[in-house]
Structure 1
Amino acid sequence: MNASPPAQRPGVFHGDCRQDGATFSDATVIARGLATGSLGCLLGLLLGAGAWAGEVDTPTAEASADQPFSLQQALKLPDWLRVSISYTAEPMANPIGGAAQTSAWIQDTDLDLQVGAGLGKASTDWVELDHWSLNLNVNHVAGDVSYAGRIGAFLAPQTLAYPTGFYPTELSLERDAGTSWIGLRAGVIPINSDFDGTLMTAPILDSYVHSALNNTYNIYAGNIPVTPFSALAARLDLHPHESLAVYYGWFDLKTAIPVITSLGAPVNLTPTKVGDAHILQLNYTPKGAVAATPTLPAELLSVGGFTTDFQGEGVYGSATWKSGLRLGLDDRVWIGAAYSPNFSLNQAPSFIGGGVVVQGVVPNRPQDLLILGGSHAGLSSSAPPAYPNRPYEGVLELGYRLQLNPNLNLQPTLQWIFDPSGREQPTPGILTTSVQISLSL
């Protein structure tokens, strides 16, 4: 994701895991724990969550544990309405290095709602009306957003490091291509929307915590609207072949902040540039490529370019493939890069990164992921408003995602930040530690 700005430490939970003498499934406990504030419920869930990871002997228990809790089913919602909630927290500390040894907590709660006649049908059975849906997404960010600056880093080590507040991130009308070859989306949307066919992103990058590795190739150009920021925009999706997808997006950058602030986002943000952004991206999946799994994305080659009024232009791309080595049950290797020639306009005009994500390296933990990645971000001293006086900032990230059940995972992570460039004076390299917490209902 873009180098991000940041967010209140959550309060202590209180409550009970039972009600009227009844007990609940793990995922139901999560939902009630978040709603009532029961830390004991959540801790109990974590301690007993090994069952889903492969420690269950009885077929009945295993089948039950493999089924994620669904808010959709729990609320008995109709097929034409889809609702989901996700919660992610990124507590982080740096015991070694940096301008100061300190810590921070930041979190994001995300609500998605989709309304459409075809949501409960197979796409092969759709009529024209079934292709269309209305999408709504809202985010609430809370916590300490000042962490990167306090430790002397230029790029945020937390993906969620955005200004705290409520963000009405998306309100759009969409035509899903389904089995046809054309789709579109228009309204208030971000570039990296959580639906298929997003721009400036590759799915494998979502495995990482550092903002330079996660999401948008560290493209750092003014008001580019990256979730939770959004803008008035339109996106056209073309699928001329089963292996090929072409995406074009237009974004009105002068609305990137005014639109969401008028709807309740933080009001102390000022647009740095105005104008339009145009993005063209091509995704190619080779014939016979390894398909996506519940834990790993499909093999993919993606290339694209962007141009923005008053902010310059650039190119980007990535490749994701299966290594063919016996690294675990499955794996994906990736490389990615971005470049903008406008050093006077773009604070981070170059980026190169790569890594590997391996599934099932530990016996009896087939759903866990081992995550390794690194990046080098070239920095510009002539692009306002920040003036890093160092030529680059790099990061090496090592993480392990514990998939405790289909709804909940914990991801302990270590980062080593090379040449921290957030301050004028030289700053020692930084070792950060964190445990990302992700819950989806």
Structure 2
Amino acid sequence: MLKQRFLVFGFIAVVSGLVATGTTLGSRFKRYPTHSETAPLMHPGTTQDTSPPPVQPRTNQTDDSTPFMPVEEESFDEEIGTLFSHNVLDISSMQIEYVYTGEVFNNTRGGLNTTNATEYRGNLDVALTADMDDWVGVPGGTFFLYGQDLHGRGITGDHVGDFQTLSNLDNDINFTQVSEFWWQQELAEGQIWLKLGKQDSNADFCALDLGGDFVGSSFGQIPTLPMPTFPDPGLGAALFATVTDTVSFGAGVYDGAANGRTWGFDTLGAGGAFSIMELKVDPQLAIFGGNPAAYRFGVWHHSGDWDTLDGASTFSYNHGYYMGFDQLLWLEEEDEEQGLGFFLQYGWAPQNRNEVRDYFGAGLLYRGPIDGRDEDLLGCGLAHTKFSNILERDSDQTYESAIELFYRAQLRPWAAIQPDLQFISNPGGNLRDSLTAGLRFEVVL
């Protein structure tokens, strides 16, 4: 494992050195670029920029700003604070970013057990984003390279037994891998853009702006979608188009059996393909005071073989649909970068070949809830899954509901902490109700 970590991060360092010609950047680390962020929720009366945003990497759904209440982005030429340097030299065509995210969680009651039920999980992200116009003379081109090191262990598997996975950092294994490498190309004066390479489909599809700061996994990837995402991004191609100022469309095709620990070519075509299409509308409805919003409607299809849950037969495909709604409810009068928003999620998949037939999620997020703490976030959310009738019949698994409450405190431009409480009703569909408590932290290195 140590050798693997050295090779992965050594590879990224070498590429970074070649591109940067010796210049290093530390900047505020942000989530993956999402298709939703290509048309972010805007303040009333502003003009929407339909061009793709600067490509920025992910910290497993933690962020020091909230897309639904946009703030001015730091330009590449600004001095951005990090842990080791508060005056970091930057160059306009390349970003190199390092972020460490760690968390401690404890199962205080219920679930599988509460004996020695405290665990630590950590993740190191290293990402490089390069403007290919400057480096190789391709206007509108962006190259992205992203490595991860996931270590420690979570409490889901050994202590809670929840199906939805209470932390989006949790996973069955530890790994060091090149999670993504792709090229994004703008076309038609930024109205169309194409993305090719190993990528996380959840970065561009079924991604809510307001769900990104929650710890719970379902607020990011809803459990009815078998999409290639953390920890297994896959090779794929995605195309996005801006139709009008308020309507955009995206479609993607990805490896249906992706293994994030590899470059992706060995599994390509071996387990079918995952295809997805999404329509996004950005209305400003009078019922919500004309405040910014983003509504998403998507369908997906998987061409691989899927056994029925009882093993009686095999289907040659899988399919489903989803919806997601971000809505800003209220802006503070004195500061339009702060206020309250809510989100809704829904996903469906056929219950004869999927463990979850219906998923529903909802939540509230407030930015700047305390005077003088303008960058802090307060969030509360509900994630509910309804299991297949086959699981209910054979193993008494009925439903699982998770309620999450968190407060994210931005201590410094380069550091944040996030206390988190979760009540999980019926974990796994048939276990005792669980109450977990944890603390997540993020440091921009």
Q: Structure 2, unaligned stretches of length 5 or more?
A: 1-24, 30-63, 65-77, 307-317
Question: CA separation of 1:325/1:77 partners in 2, compared to 1, >3 Å: closer, same or farther?
Answer: closer
Aligned 8 A contact 1:174 1:186 in 2: yes
Give the alignment partner of residue 147 of structure 2, picking from 138, 153, 161. Answer: 138
Aligned 8 A contact 1:243 1:287 in 2: no
1:151-162 residue pairs with structure 2 within 5 A?
151-162=160-171
Q: Tell me which residue corresponds to 2:328.
A: 322
CA distance in 2, matches of 1:318, 1:72: 39
1:251-400 residue pairs with structure 2 within 5 A?
251-254=254-257, 256-257=258-259, 260-263=260-263, 274-286=271-283, 299-309=293-303, 310-311=305-306, 312-324=318-330, 329-341=338-350, 343-380=351-388, 382=390, 389-400=396-407
Please state how far the C-alpha of 1:211 moved relative to its aligned partner.
1.3
Number of residue pairs the alignment of both structures matches: 346
Q: Structure 1, unaligned stretches of length 5 or more?
A: 1-26, 32-51, 53-65, 121-126, 290-296
Give the secondary structure class of the aligned counterpart of 2:111.
coil
Aligned 8 A contact 1:389 1:421 in 2: no
Percent identity, aligned pairs only, is: 21
Give the secondary structure class of the aligned counterpart of 1:105.
strand
Please state how far the C-alpha of 1:206 moved relative to its aligned partner.
1.0
Alignment of 1:203 with 2:201, yes or no, is no
Question: CA separation of 1:158/1:131 partners in 2, compared to 1, >3 Å: closer, same or farther?
Answer: same
Question: CA separation of 1:210/1:287 partners in 2, compared to 1, >3 Å: closer, same or farther?
Answer: closer
Please state how far the C-alpha of 1:323 moved relative to its aligned partner.
1.6
Aligned 8 A contact 1:72 1:82 in 2: no
CA distance in 1, matches of 2:320, 2:80: 41
Please state how far the C-alpha of 1:326 moved relative to its aligned partner.
6.8
Give the alignment partner of residue 186 of structure 1, picking from 193, 196, 200. Answer: 196
Please state how far the C-alpha of 1:139 moved relative to its aligned partner.
0.9
Give the alignment partner of residue 233 of structure 2, picking from 230, 234, 239. Answer: 230
Q: Tell me which residue corresponds to 2:108.
A: 95
Q: Which amino acid aligns with 2:224?
A: I
Alignment of 1:150 with 2:153, yes or no, is no
Question: CA separation of 1:416/1:67 partners in 2, compared to 1, >3 Å: closer, same or farther?
Answer: farther
Q: Tell me which residue corresponds to 1:428.
A: 432
Q: Tell me which residue corresponds to 2:91.
A: 78
Q: Deviations over 1:85-139 (max 9, x none)?
A: 222122110112222111211111111112224589xxxxxx9922012211111
Q: Deviations over 1:367-402 (max 9, x none)?
A: 21110110211123647xxx8631110011111111
Alignment of 1:247 with 2:269, yes or no, is no
Aligned 8 A contact 1:412 1:436 in 2: yes
Q: Which amino acid aligns with 1:394?
A: S
CA distance in 1, matches of 2:389, 2:344: 26
TM-score (norm 2): 0.70
Give the alignment partner of residue 424 of structure 2, picking from 417, 426, 433. Answer: 417
Aligned 8 A contact 1:352 1:375 in 2: yes
How well do the aligned residues superpose, as a CA RMSD in angstroms? 3.5
Q: Which amino acid aligns with 1:76?
A: L
Aligned 8 A contact 1:92 1:435 in 2: yes
Please state how far the C-alpha of 1:439 moved relative to its aligned partner.
2.4
Please state how far the C-alpha of 1:220 moved relative to its aligned partner.
4.7
Q: Which amino acid aligns with 2:209?
A: P
Please state how far the C-alpha of 1:189 moved relative to its aligned partner.
1.2
Question: CA separation of 1:228/1:75 partners in 2, compared to 1, >3 Å: closer, same or farther?
Answer: farther
Q: Deviations over 1:250-301 (max 9, x none)?
A: 01213x01xx43359xx9xx99x81111100111112599xxxxxxx96211
Question: CA separation of 1:298/1:245 partners in 2, compared to 1, >3 Å: closer, same or farther?
Answer: same
CA distance in 1, matches of 2:155, 2:330: 42
CA distance in 2, matches of 1:244, 1:151: 41
CA distance in 2, matches of 1:119, 1:288: 41
Aligned 8 A contact 1:372 1:398 in 2: yes
Q: Tell me which residue corresponds to 1:217.
A: 222
CA distance in 1, matches of 2:133, 2:428: 50
CA distance in 1, matches of 2:169, 2:442: 12
CA distance in 2, matches of 1:320, 1:399: 19
CA distance in 2, matches of 1:111, 1:89: 15
CA distance in 2, matches of 1:420, 1:306: 27
Aligned 8 A contact 2:79 2:90 in 1: no
Give the secondary structure class of the aligned counterpart of 1:109.
strand
Give the secondary structure class of the aligned counterpart of 2:370.
coil
